Homo-oligomer: A and B are copies of this chain.
Amino acid sequence: MAAQPRSASATPARSKTGVRTAQRGTTPKNKRSAKAPSMVDDATLLEFYTQMMHIRRFEERAARAYTQALIGGYCHLNLGEEAAIVGLLKALKKTDYLFTNYREHGYAITRGIHPNRVMAELYGRVDGVSKGWGGSMHMFDLTARLLGGYGIVGGQLPLATGAGLAIDYRDSDEVVMVTMGDGTTNIGAFHESLNIAALWNLPVVYVIINNKLGMGTSVDKSSAEPELYKRASSYRMASAEVDGSDPTAVFDATTTAVASARERKPFLLEVHTERLKGHSVVDPAKYRSAEENEELKENDPVLTFARRLLDDGVLDADTKKKIDQEAATMASDAAAFAEKSPFPEVSTLFDYTYATPVPNDSRRLPGQPLFEPLPIPTGAAR
């Protein structure tokens, strides 16, 4: 495997080709370009595996904490999407922006936010990445330029489009990446956002994580055009699809997409993944057959990628053991940290309604009266 510097893969020329190809919307070409011999070196491959294993162990730990009632609310996991996440984020610069949805733990830690702070957020503690105010669905970190996970399906799309607008307004050269699920392509915000981005030439990469299901509803039952990346044609937007079980393929396709966006050509990238478990931790996924689940296990992207690296001699058993062990430690350390972190003080309840203090803001606890009881006025008092 050619060990080429990653930067080289983002030359305008290459990306332009990618774009033109995609714009013709000819699937095979896109597929080929995505599957073309990758330019990532062995170190990067190991980095991918390490990050994937971190996501895997983190999510497994989160699931356990949830069943122990240490985590509340909804909890959506990235199990099965590890390869997609690491490939996507590797193609971004530190200065680029990321918007995601409620299925985001893996994005947060891969983007470089310390797992302790992500787990603490799940536990609702002050050391959480959103100080405990957001929880699983709402992680935000300015330094990592993760501008939020959002719980309303499609809600992140107009916001990311606007971030692209701000970048363009300032003539700076960051790129915005925003991820969404397959089911999200059927909501109005998808249409309005992509049209605006294409119309105004905004530096945004729209990523569809196609895990084939909404909650229990399959793509063909929700999207009249199930080849989702093709929907870019309604906006004359470049697009491509890629196998999300292969981090290098995802990285290559994303590199093309990001380069395109950086040249003010927004891009729609569809990443084919699998959701290994239920929609959220509480979903037993009864709607799936035993065979299906068997298949999923067999094609588990983390195991598959590990096998590949072992076969290619990029990874040896010892190193793998070390990495896996290190990932397990990361996860249990994160849980330990989270459990030790204190809950936010109730006295802070009214600190985040407004960024600018404002007179007459209602800072009333449910038990408090609107007006303190007064002495009954005497006739004179009137």
Contacts and interface: CB of A to CB of B under 8 A. Distances in A.
Nearest to A192: B188
Main secondary structure of the interface of A (DSSP, over half): helix
A13 interface: no
A235 B220 CA distance: 11
A51 to B, nearest CB: 34
Number of copies of this kind of chain in the complex: 2
A231 interface: yes
Contacts of A194: 224
Interface in A223-253: 223-225, 230-231, 233-237
Task: Among A187, A189, A191, A236, find the residue whose CB has the most chain B CB atoms closer than 10 A.
Answer: A191
Interface residues of A, number: 23
A190 interface: yes
A310 interface: no
Interface in A175-201: 186-192, 194-195, 198-199
B237 A234 contact: no
A187 B192 contact: yes
Nearest to A194: B224
10 contacts: A186-B195, A188-B189, A190-B191, A191-B192, A199-B224, A224-B234, A225-B234, A230-B234, A233-B233, A234-B234
Given A191-B192, A231-B234, 14 more contacts: A186-B192, A186-B195, A188-B189, A188-B192, A194-B224, A195-B224, A198-B224, A199-B221, A199-B223, A199-B224, A225-B234, A225-B235, A230-B233, A233-B233
